[in-house]
Structure 1
Amino acid sequence: MGKNIAIIGSGFSSLAAASYLSKAGNTVTIYEKNNTVGGRARQLKKDGFTFDIGPTWYWMPDVFERFYNDFGKDPSDYYDLIKLSPAYSVYFGEGDFITIEDTLEKISAAFEAEEPGSSLKLKKFMDAAQDNYNIAIKDLVYRPGVSPLELVTPVTMKKVGQFFSTISKQVRKEFNNPRLVSILEFPVLFLGAKPSNTPAFYSFMNYADFGLGTFHPVDGMYSVIKGMKALAEELGVTIKTNQNVEKINVSDKTATSIIVNSEEIKADIILSGADYHHTETLLDVPHRQYSESYWEKKTFAPSSLLFYVGFDKKLKNVEHHTLFFDVDFEAHAREIYDTPAWPENPLFYASFPSKTDKNAAPEGKEAGIFLIPLAPGLEDTSALREKYFSIIMNRFEKLTNQEVKNYVIFKESFCINDFIEDYNSYKGNAYGLANTLLQTAFLRPKLKSKKVKNLFFTGQLSVPGPGVPPSLISGKLVAGLIEKK
């Protein structure tokens, strides 16, 4: 007999879990505090421009395919994908950049042009990365993090050394050129930690990057959310917005109901895709699994200062995705992870979806999204936001050799205070809990509460980790645990 399941939040993991649970015959209702679905993957529309507020990278298309295939569907039933060609470019100085194309063959040629002999090293590195991808993404990440034995297989035992080495060491063992090192270390930044703290096994992210490529869903990443919402509703899920969950009630060590906008709603199972730390604050203290000191000691992925900018002209010398690595990466990383502070010389990333998608901006204009990674928990003021907008616009003009500041029609910003206000995000983090060695798999916060029966969690602070594809997987994993009850 099906259960009555209440889900808190409507991000990727919640929508995925809702679909699996509804397909299994349960009555599923999602309660979303904001006025639109999507969690952090919302959308901003202004003056004919459209921006993804949250994720802008579509990697690991096979994970999305596997999700939709579980329901007899394909991603193309809900949205259209464009493979980016080139995938992105990386600036190292004025007019000095390396372009990452859409095939490994072309990328190898770019490496060879940068450092003779590096294409052979890249092939060796990518063969190992693909092997890790096949182990991790096709198998390991679909395990629920219940036991350390999940990681023990004949294949992983051969790879055990990679869990105790780092991406940084692995890359530097093969490559000396600092520009190529930066490019090869870039993908693991999606995992939320420094390359020097990320296990070498995570080189599978390099295969996701160079081997599978980078895609753009037409109308932006929000079209993926709309597709998942449509699928969930087809399966019978009820989605309610403007529903602020204020408390989780527990009786006899069992979750029994939630208080939503001051009204009690009973449920057989409560699943939260909201911020894990915040969700536990909805419980009385004796029912919380993790103390404040536990969260304080964890390594969190960065927060971000984001700008959504409408430009009154088309921009040149940039790709859809463009990275600006013209300053000291290590110095900025220290200001995120070691001695948290606003960065003196920030690296930044920019996305110009209107380079690919005519729907992103009016004709003759450009939509720009700029992101500076920051330590969570920093002071966030309008004056600081203005200061850093000026810093990156000055650098952007100089590096790309064009005037842009006088062509800004508008800009909107989003930073630490907004992550806290809109998503109840712990210290305003943007990407969840970093995937360091001691925060991998069974060492992450659990999908199933250890203290309260019928209470479950999903999303980027739980298993398997940060990022959009892992969030889809997290939803599937927690749905499986609920069904096994």
Structure 2
Amino acid sequence: MSVQGNTGTPRVGGRRAAVIGGGIGGLATAALLAAEGHTVTLLEKQGQVGGRAGSWEAGGFRFDTGPSWYLMPEVIDHFFKLMGTSAAEQLELIRLDPGYRVIFEENREAVDVPADRPAVVKLFESLEPGAGEALEKYLDSAEDTYTIAKRRFLYSTFESFLPLLRPDVLVRLPKLVRLLLQPLSGFVAGRFADPRLRQILGYPAVFLGSSPFDAPSMYHLMSHLDLDDGVLYPMGGFTSLISAMTKVAEEAGVEIRTGADVVSIDTTPLDTAAANRGSSRRRGPRRPGARVTGVSYRSGGAVHRVEADVVVSAADLHHTETVLLPDDRQTYPTKYWSRRVPGPSALLLYLGVKGSLPQLEHHTLLFTADWKDNFGRIFGAETSIPSPASLYVCRPSATDPSVAPAGDENVFVLVPIPADVSIGGGGVDRAGDARVEELADAVIAQIAEWAHIPDLAERIVLRRTYGPRDFASDLNAWRGTSLGPAHTLRQSAFLRGSNRSRKVEGLYYAGSSTVPGIGIPMCLISAELVVKRLRSDTSTGPLPEPA
């Protein structure tokens, strides 16, 4: 894909910007920068934009290759409104009811989680007397925490902490401190006894690339998103979201170059000695030692260059810092990453299945009985692949007939596993590494047994696997993680790291590796934070939407 007519000459009052990576974060950043009046070139390594939110088609089946939960719809709508449109104009959104199904290992009982709060409260009460009232209080707390997070933390660059010192934050400070220091698992266990309810309330930690035993209980706010707000689905799949974002970016003037593998962020030294001596006397911050001049990328067997005054890398931050920059210009060098915790990697399966699968909902979760052991194997000091594993199955053909041939099913499976590239990579029709394919066989057998689909394996007519090595090779993902750095206490909010380089003037970061974190909504917010940096905007809320 390429847009003609972008000469590289800055618009009046604008700057030349190069954006690295065409995933959600990169597309959103490029679009917003172009809407600000900058001349923007987006460089994507793969042959299509989307990043983790890509698309793959074969045999009449079309698969979303990554994200499949449409949460925080107001954040997605806000992005489109900043671009002069809306999610309602760009997407056809369907509310799923039930929101999802859960199958538990011990009794193989399926529990359908409804789409509205009163029904969810009734469900909890039926599983544990008194749990309905406890859930009401839990969700009230989750909503309050989500509201304050969105108002004061998610949209903050943390360039200044003064805007955080507001009455609504200060009055909640004791609660917020408790939520930061207590793990989500303990917070849930103190309110619910039934292990099934604990798992339903604890699993959203996986969306954050973490474990309920490690994620701060601040993230109980996630339950507000699926149990209060409900789960939506964009008809056509998440590729429709990527298509809509690409469209508004191009209409704003973004030039998209695919098949463009960035090999370096180009810089030039700054004469900062005098300025830094002055900064030291004033106890101010030291100035960067270099500034960006552009980006070099490989395409068609040759190296090309895009000149730029601003560079935003929405690629993996570890790759950006340790590969695209020289050692003396790295804000986050190799030693920094030795102290970081990666989110999990994943085994992904894309399965085309003959006939119908009513045993599976649009979203189905399979939870093992030994919950703590399952997560310990993924995040512990010594990792291994859980067996059996807690896993997630998406059957979008339950809602969307466009993703599979008539009468057949599209099945996407995600199994969280350790971030370890030695596990290997996948392929089509058993062409992946032996370990990955053996694991896929075990997972298919597990789904068949737990969901009571005895002939599942025989009905699979299309099979593709994807493993940790694929995340590393396709997305330059640190240690083959499928999501990015985990949301532990030390890797959340301002402790996650800055979205601006301290060593290189004009270099910024977006995407799941930086603030505010993992997931489609967070990546959209990260794009907005780049705009705020360029505006020197230290406010804590979202940018105002145009009339």
TM value normalised by structure 2: 0.86
Per the alignment, residue 344 of structure 1 pairs with 387
Q: 1:437 aligns with which of 482, 489, 508?
A: 489
Per the alignment, residue 286 of structure 1 pairs with 328
Which stretch shifts more, 198-207 or 155-164?
Answer: 155-164
Distance in 1 separating the partners of 2:47 and 2:378 = 32
Residue aligned with 1:19, SS:
helix
Per the alignment, residue 111 of structure 2 pairs with 98
Matched, 1:14 2:26: yes
Q: 1:188 aligns with which of 185, 192, 205?
A: 205
Matched, 1:421 2:463: no
Per the alignment, residue 545 of structure 2 pairs with none
Deviations 1:75-109 (A, max 9, x none): 12211111111110110135402111110111111
CA contact (8 A) 1:312 1:408 kept: yes
Distance in 2 separating the partners of 1:336 and 1:426 = 16
Go from structure 1 to structure 2 and tell me whether the alpha carbon gap of 1:45 and 1:442 turns closer, same or farther (over 3 Å shift): same
How far did 1:409 drift? Answer: 0.1
Q: 2:361 aligns with which of 306, 313, 319?
A: 319
Matched, 1:176 2:193: yes
Deviations 1:153-212 (A, max 9, x none): 333332322222221121111101111000011112211111122222221101011011
CA contact (8 A) 1:343 1:374 kept: yes
The letter for the 2-side match of 1:90 is V
Per the alignment, residue 14 of structure 2 pairs with 2
Distance in 2 separating the partners of 1:197 and 1:153 = 29
Per the alignment, residue 314 of structure 2 pairs with 273
Q: List structure 1 runs of 4+ shifted beyond 4 angstroms.
A: 147-152
Identity fraction in percent: 34
CA contact (8 A) 2:152 2:164 kept: no
Is there any run of 5+ residues in structure 2 with no aligned partner, and where? 1-12, 270-289, 425-432, 538-547
Per the alignment, residue 304 of structure 2 pairs with 263
CA contact (8 A) 1:342 1:378 kept: no
Per the alignment, residue 78 of structure 1 pairs with 90
CA contact (8 A) 1:340 1:378 kept: no
Per the alignment, residue 423 of structure 2 pairs with 380
Aligned-residue RMSD, C-alpha: 1.4
Distance in 2 separating the partners of 1:433 and 1:155 = 29
Per the alignment, residue 535 of structure 2 pairs with 483
Residue aligned with 1:195, SS:
coil
Matched, 1:237 2:254: yes
Residue aligned with 1:44, SS:
strand
How far did 1:219 drift? Answer: 0.9
How far did 1:264 drift? Answer: 2.3
Residue aligned with 2:213, SS:
helix
Distance in 1 separating the partners of 2:39 and 2:68 = 32
Per the alignment, residue 409 of structure 2 pairs with 366
CA contact (8 A) 2:388 2:446 kept: no
How far did 1:119 drift? Answer: 0.4
How far did 1:148 drift? Answer: 4.9
Per the alignment, residue 4 of structure 2 pairs with none
The letter for the 2-side match of 1:88 is Y
The letter for the 1-side match of 2:212 is P
Q: Which has the larger radius of gyration?
A: 2
Residue aligned with 2:139, SS:
helix
The letter for the 2-side match of 1:468 is I
Q: 1:331 aligns with which of 373, 377, 381?
A: 373
The letter for the 1-side match of 2:368 is D
Per the alignment, residue 286 of structure 2 pairs with none
Matched, 1:398 2:432: no
Per the alignment, residue 281 of structure 2 pairs with none
The letter for the 1-side match of 2:501 is S
Matched, 1:254 2:291: yes
Distance in 2 separating the partners of 1:383 and 1:301 = 24
How far did 1:378 drift? Answer: 4.3
Deviations 1:11-59 (A, max 9, x none): 1111111122111111011000100011111001111101110111111
Go from structure 1 to structure 2 and tell me whether the alpha carbon gap of 1:455 and 1:227 turns closer, same or farther (over 3 Å shift): same
